[in-house]
Amino acid sequence: MKQARHTDTMLIRQKLAQAEGILNELGIDCWITFTRETEINGDPILPFLTDGELTWHSAFIVTASGARRAIVGQYDKQGVEDLGSYDRVIGYIEGIREPLRECLMEFSPGTIAINYSQGSEICDGLTHGMYLTLHAYLSDMGLQDRLVSAERIISALRQRKSDAEIERMRRAIAITDGVFERVKGFIRPGRTEKEVAAFMMELLGKEGAEPAWDPKSCPAVFTGPDTAGAHYAPTARKIERGHLLNMDFGVRVGGYCSDLQRTFYVLEEGEHAAPNEVQKGFETILRAIEKSRLAIRPGVQGVAVDAVARGVLAESGYDPFPHGLGHQVGRYAHDGTALLGPAWEKYGSKPFETIEEGMVFTLEPRLAVPGRGVATVEEMVRVTAHGADYLSTPQRDLLLV
């Protein structure tokens, strides 16, 4: 699903100022975001730089010395100027080569960061064709050997959340919690996963918010054992007594997301509490979340935090969960580079990135209770100078239906 733009000028100015500081911190002279036809091939970083789509070749330039330039097609110029975020907006008619050349020759940067990355999809917004175009322009100026990856810039810019960004995420979390609270009264034996999901989407519509990811699987609803497990659309499977039901759901508010999971147990006739094996599984998940939260602090690698949660499950006799413990959340439900995960091939170097203050992570271990279904809870935490605090209101008790 295409991400809707909800950027505002205040946030763009904040992020541009933050980018300047990051460039100085990293010792990089200049950062260029180079893009075109953004509705088709938009770079993930664009909402931090502009508000609206762009048509022709466009370059957003930030330097460590404080210069902020935008070079865009003439018809896009006014919209970018209206942001009041750049010291100069240059509109061109025939082509971007000459205005880009003039800017770079003025700055004469020793290093030029561009948006490519092998390890982080959120930092890999420069298409190969646009890279070839930019490289040719820079070769004409003798600057082609000064290119470096902007991964560290973009990662820091996305993961160091400002108070304004956190506030938007809190609003998204509050709406998500409200939907979870109201859907509990709708869940009953005989209703289907699809019906539960449709009810949640109806509630979301009344809040004027949008799902945090593809609405085909947001919300994801799973009841009983032997389900697809995750990342799958709700089905016509009916809710049954004695089964666990879990759901994965998030919303986007003001351009920022929530991503939470909650677990319910559907009581058998005459039951007043969940069976011991269900309660044990649920409480194991809560311990894994809390112990891993306490392990989070700046400077720690995500792989170490993931290992804490896996250790809790192993001590209680459960198999390890088949995914990372937690990912970052921001403008997307899956955002940022650093990951709380194991040293698996698919995660590359992400689990070995060090945790920083300002990051927002999910914590989402899971385990199977044979014959009952999956117990899983997903919370969101914000990394502080000394640890990690819950952004979401933690699920402390199994939700009984």
The pLDDT, as a whole number, for residue 226 is 84
Task: For residue 254, give Cα distances in angstroms to 120, 200, 204.
Answer: 24, 20, 14
199 and 69 together in one domain: no
Whether 154 and 250 map to the same domain: the answer is no
Spatial separation of the C-alpha atoms in residues 397 and 374, rounded to whole Å: 15
Read off the amino acid at residue 203: L
Claim to verify: residue 31 and residue 123 sit in the same structural domain:
yes
Q: Confirm whether 3 is domain-assigned.
A: no
The residue segments making up the domain with residue 382 are 160-400
Report whether 347 contacts 335 (CB < 8 A). Answer: no
Examine the domain organization and report whether 87 and 202 are in the same domain. Answer: no
Question: Does the residue 343 lie in any domain?
Answer: yes
User: Alpha helix locations (H) across 232-365?
Assistant: 276-295, 302-315
Are 177 and 312 part of one and the same domain? yes
Q: Looking at the structure, do residues 186 and 106 belong to the same domain, yes or no?
A: no
Same domain (yes/no): 231, 335 = yes
**DSSP-derived 3-state class of residue 300:** coil
Last residue of a domain, one of 132, 158, 184: 158
- The residue from 123, 158, 193 where one domain ends is 158
pTM above 0.85, yes or no: yes
- Do 200 and 313 share a domain, yes or no? yes
State how far the Cα of 364 lies from the Cα of 252, in Å rounded to an integer: 19
In this structure, is residue 30 part of a structural domain? yes
Pick from 136, 158, 180: which residue ends a domain?
Answer: 158
In a domain? residue 4: no
Cis omega (within 30 of 0) for bond into 219: yes
The two three-digit tokens of residue 91, written as one number: 């509109």
Residues in the chain where the model's pLDDT stays below 50? 1-6
Residue 68 within any structural domain of the chain: yes
CATH number for 229 = 3.90.230.10
352 lies in the same domain as 218 = yes
Residue 378 DSSP one-character state: B
Confidence at residue 229, expressed as pLDDT on a 0 to 100 scale? 74
Work out whether strand 88-92 and strand 68-73 pair parallel, antiparallel, or are unpaired: parallel
Clarify whether residues 93 and 184 are in a common domain. no
User: 234 and 100, same structural domain?
Assistant: no
Do 204 and 142 belong together in one domain? no
CA distance 34 to 60: 7
Summarize the chain as % helix, strand, coil (round to 5).
35, 20, 40
Q: What confidence tens digit (pLDDT) does each residue in 108-154 have?
A: 999 999 999 999 999 999 999 999 999 999 999 999 999 999 999 99
pLDDT value, residue 7: 52
Q: Is residue 388 part of a domain?
A: yes
What is the domain count for the chain? 2
CATH number, domain of 141, equals 3.40.350.10
In a domain, 333, yes or no: yes
2 is a domain residue: no
